[in-house]
Amino acid sequence: MKATKLGSHIRNEFPLFANNKKIEDGQIKPFSYLDSAVSAQKHISVIKAMSHHLEYDYGSVHRGAYGVSVRSSQMYENTRTIVANFIGKSVKPEQIVYTRGTTESLNILANGIAEEYLQENSRIVIPVAEHHANLIPWQQVALRKNCELAYIPFEGKIGKELRLNLSEAKKLITKNTKVVSLAHVGNVIGQINPIEEVIALAKSVGALVVLDCAQSMTCIEEDVFALGADAIAFSPHKIYGPSGIGVLAMSKELIERLPPYTFGGGMISDVTLEGSSWTQGPAKFEAGTPPITEVAGLGAAIEWISQVGKIHIHDHAAALAAEFLSKVQEIPDIEVFAPGTGQETIVSFRHKKIHAHDLATILDAENIAMRAGHHCAWPFIRFLGVDALIRCSFAAYSDKDDIELALAAIKKASKIT
């Protein structure tokens, strides 16, 4: 298959870019979107799939015997197969649960695992760098169950030291460890965590492994279930699809053993005035009317990514990130927090004289979007010794023009301090 040209060659396939150009002093300022780590822009095929579903096929799933409900239900279930294949060959459609996002998925896992697997003094192990969505649920579970929550540190705070300390992980993952949960790819600095090694450590003591794959599903092709993961979570809005929907994939054991997290219609086997029993499979976790149209968008997003190729997208974005890193760290007063392995698609940095939020506002005036703040990872930000960072993230539609525009804007901001 011939590689699709990315960057500016496909930007017209993402309508938002054409609709957000600025005209200033007669000059067009293109929209430079460098915040895909928070949420990617939507491909036209996703927009069309969702619009078509709403116009022609919308009906509540598993509720009616009439045409639109049947077609919606078929699309809804067929997309489980698309999602399963996207995750890996070892994954089956009956392991796929639709949720409202990665955050809900991780809460389902934390609460269910707490109920079925954790006892007093059980150990939960997570890295210090986790997103709040993969930290707070475990923190709350540890408090409720009187469990021990242990944090894997990083080797250091600069350059290639910004990686998990596997020596410390070996010490922390002990025989009383019941679950190890970590991001496949970090959301603050974009490090690719050594999940194969961590999974092996966890399995050596019989612990469950949960992976937050929110940042990795467009760039990593590993079948993580074949490596030994027990559950993963990701959000379609980060893979060029819609928001308001998440994916939770679990081992057959977890699907069967974990209790439901939300109760209501669609997830029951029987209800009497005295009690209720639950259905089996993914439906047990899908109470109420699910995000039906968003499932249509998810299927379209995966089909587009599969056509272009995960590795192709990753290599494109990583090359741009590496180029930006090499140039931005040459600007006086810029301090970079990046592993710099050439595989990251994120570069985080700060200006020593301009607060991150102020710099983000200055960049916005130049029609450049970057996120500033603690990136939903307060403990890691404090570990790095800063109060906020600017995060620049690259995607399939990013190009070298974005780099040059961003660098020029940062240099311009430096001159006014």
Tell the burial category of 128 from Cβ atoms under 10 Å away from its Cβ (0-12, 13-18, 19+): middle
Q: How far apart are CA 66 and CA 69, in angstroms?
A: 6
Considering only CA atoms, give the Rg of the chain.
22
Q: Which residues contact 230 (CB under 8 A, 6 or more apart)?
A: 208, 209, 210, 250, 251, 253, 254
Helices (H), 182-285: 195-204, 224-227, 252-257
* Torsion sign across C-alpha atoms 64, 69, 73, 76: negative
Q: Which residues contact 13 (CB under 8 A, 6 or more apart)?
A: 43, 44, 45, 397
Catalytic residue at 376? yes
Token pair listed for 383 = 């570990």
Q: Kindly write down the DSSP assignment for every residue of 134-199, as one continuous string.
A: GTHHHHHHHHHHT-EEEEEPBS-SSGGG-SB-HHHHHHHS-TTEEEEEEESB-SSS--B--HHHHH
Q: Are 58 and 76 in contact (CB under 8 A)?
A: no
Beta-sheet pairing, 123-127 with 148-152:
parallel
Residue 1's CB is within 10 A of a number of other CB atoms, namely 7
φ/ψ (deg, to 5) at 250: -130, 155
Q: How far is CA 312 from the centre of its chain?
A: 19
Report how far apart the first and last C-alpha atoms of the chain are (Å, whole number): 50
Helices (H), 27-101: 44-52, 67-87
Q: Which of 147, 213, 376, 392 is catalytic?
A: 376
Q: How far apart are CA 172 and CA 150, in angstroms?
A: 7
The residues annotated as belonging to the active site are: 376
